[in-house]
Amino acid sequence: MGFVGKVWKVLVGIKDGLVLIFMLLFFVTLFAALSATPSPAQVREGALYIDLSGFVVEERATIDPFTALLSRTQPETQHQARDIVRALDAAASDDRIKAVVLDLTTFIGGGQVHMQEIAEAMDRVRQTEKPVLTYALGYGDDHLHLASHASEVWLDPIGGALIAGPGGSFLFYADLLERLSVNARVYRVGEFKAAVEPYLLNAMSPQARENIEGLYGALWEEWQANVTKARPDLDLAGILGDPVAWVETNEGDLAQAALASGLVDTLGNKVEFGERVAELAGEDSLSEKPGAYAKTGLSAFLADHPQATNGTAIAVVTVAGELVDGEAGPGTAGGTRIANLLDKALDSDIAGLVVRVDSPGGSVLASEVVRRAIDRHRAKDRPVAVSFANVAASGGYWVATAGDRIFAQPETVTGSIGVFAVLPTFENTAGRLGVNADAIRTTPLSGQPDIIDGLTPEMDAIFQASVGDTYSDFLSLVSDARGMPADQVDRIAQGRVWDGGAARQIKLVDQFGGLDEALAWVASEAGLDEGGWHARYLVDPVDGTDALIRQLLTNALSPFVAREQSPRAGDLFAKAAQSRERAFAQLAADAERLGGASGIHAYCLACPRVERERASHPPSHTTLEMVRALFSE
């Protein structure tokens, strides 16, 4: 009976998968015949409504609908930070827009640089005397970074707000690998290169702890400074000093605690919030639903305010996500794909190039492929600026060495100039299982590398020498790009990670500024007058149906997706469930990095966790399910 039951489950699963696939094909065919592009005619007088469900990212990832269907995983919603900023700036000058609403109910988060860029755009809207309102069921650090710049912050009475600050646990596997008799052979250069420590140690090394604590401390200071400047009456010290007393003073009511301390301005449900927006922006004459107000969605508003195309073009190429070999992306920085985009623009009429980097690094080969492609633009005497977003570390910094000038923000994480390679061998595991090997060698390298019988001392030494040579190449690139002696670069390298402020002091970056400042610098270097140029993003051709496919998948999968995959926002226990899923994802990603990494890597493990959690190069569904099953036994 047990066997029959398992067969039945397999058949039911196949049936469900086929049904979902045919549903997707039907709806894609039907709606693609219409148009997935929002119409500017949808813009109405009232509020600009921005639903920030999911993540804010530098570059939106494309989705594989069939993989999503088979895995029964709803695709995450992603918003490009530059789109949000462009919409806010347009709303400031659009007379039809009376107010701006940011719905943070199902917002998950984003990088600190992106949060500050959006917050500053919110300030620009408020400077035109237009109100900006936020609503959420639960406010976390990223929510509050944005909300502190709103004119009205609303919180549902059954919700709450908590400030956690950067930091958290790092996983280490030395004991596990020893128990499994797996020999994790690690080759690295860099005293602070923490990316390989999980496979060697059971806790952080003193050097890594010192570096990461300093980095997170600097980012935390920036966050507090930004929030308290925006909300000077906020009792941040009282909240952070004794959070338990802060909650208990309000009898465990997190919403009342948030209101009393000034984290939020008003407690009210969604209907009451909508009635307030209707007072400011007008009632919705097309709807009789409680709390309805006149509004325009983000997509339609952006369609009504397209990017400028006047004057000469300055190209912008995005390097976002982990750097990997091949054509991967967008959302993952496939080296070949990005190099092809750059090469296609070589003979175009662009005046210069800005490289926007938001990557913790990855494959050294992919990093070098992109760097060489950027260098081909410099060979045409085009000014090249590099703009760092949240993270530009390891391979992300390798790419930046091809630029003429580097821009970063105080919250940017950069550096991590170091390289490593990991190769697991299973000679001890094989012996425990009764598998023995006997070799015949004509040279010390015959049959090498051998992951079952192990590596010869000669092969081991060659691997380490190769990593050391790559590190020397990295130092030379930085030395030439920054005009510093190699030994000086080595002292600030060694895998150490820096915040943007410290990086500027040690001359790893040239000046503070975002993408706009980098574009303006290129325009100036190219001799272009103000208003006589525009940004042209180098992107892959799209068919305009990605947003439609996301929506169809979400609707199609909603009856099949486990309840805990979409926890109620604001509930502390739901957030604990989210934390569990993130831990499983991290375990799976680390397992794949150990067993699947190819070549030498320049990757930053110490970079803020959010960048890794929402990377568009996630662990495979199979590996993730294996990890879940292991911990559920």
Lowest mean pLDDT among 10-19, 396-405, 497-506, 517-526: 10-19
Residue 219's pLDDT band, with cuts at 50, 70 and 90, is very high
Calpha distance 354→388 (Å, rounded): 10
What digits encode the pLDDT tens for the residues 247-278? 999 888 999 999 999 999 999 999 999 999 99
pLDDT of residue 446: 86
What's the whole-number mean pLDDT along residues 166-189? 88
Residue 222's pLDDT band, with cuts at 50, 70 and 90, is very high
- Would you say residue 35 has pLDDT above 70? no
Calpha distance 79→56 (Å, rounded): 5
More confident residue, 156 or 624: 156
pLDDT of residue 432: 85
What's the whole-number mean pLDDT along residues 217-232? 95
The CATH classification number of 35-169+205-305+544-632 equals 3.90.226.10
Calpha distance 586→580 (Å, rounded): 10
Give CA separation, 598 vs 142, 336, 366, 594, 612, in Å.
34, 16, 11, 10, 19
What's the whole-number mean pLDDT along residues 290-300? 95
pLDDT of residue 631: 46
pLDDT of residue 188: 84
More confident residue, 617 or 156: 156
What is the chain's percent helix, strand, coil content, to nearest 5?
A: 45, 20, 35
More confident residue, 504 or 601: 504
pLDDT of residue 288: 84
Classified by CATH at the fold level, domain 312-418+493-537 comes out as: 2-enoyl-CoA Hydratase; Chain A, domain 1 (3.90.226)
- Would you say residue 105 has pLDDT above 90? yes
Residue 622's pLDDT band, with cuts at 50, 70 and 90, is very low
What digits encode the pLDDT tens for the residues 45-96? 999 999 999 999 999 987 665 555 555 556 678 999 999 999 999 999 999 9
CA angle 522, 527, 528 (to 5 degrees): 80
pLDDT of residue 10: 60
Calpha distance 517→37 (Å, rounded): 30
pLDDT of residue 606: 72
Residue 261 amino acid letter: S
% of the chain beyond a pLDDT of 90: 59
Give CA separation, 187 vs 166, 362, 421, 461, 611, in Å.
29, 15, 5, 10, 25
Q: Would the CATH topology of 35-169+205-305+544-632 be identical to that of 312-418+493-537?
A: yes
- Would you say residue 546 has pLDDT above 70? no
- Would you say residue 313 has pLDDT above 70? yes
The domain locations on the chain are 35-169+205-305+544-632, 312-418+493-537
What's the whole-number mean pLDDT along residues 575-598? 61
Question: What are the backbone dihedrals phi and psi of residue 309, each rounded to the nearest 5 degrees, phi first?
Answer: -130, 15
Question: What are the backbone dihedrals phi and psi of residue 545, each rounded to the nearest 5 degrees, phi first?
Answer: -105, 5
Calpha distance 16→243 (Å, rounded): 47
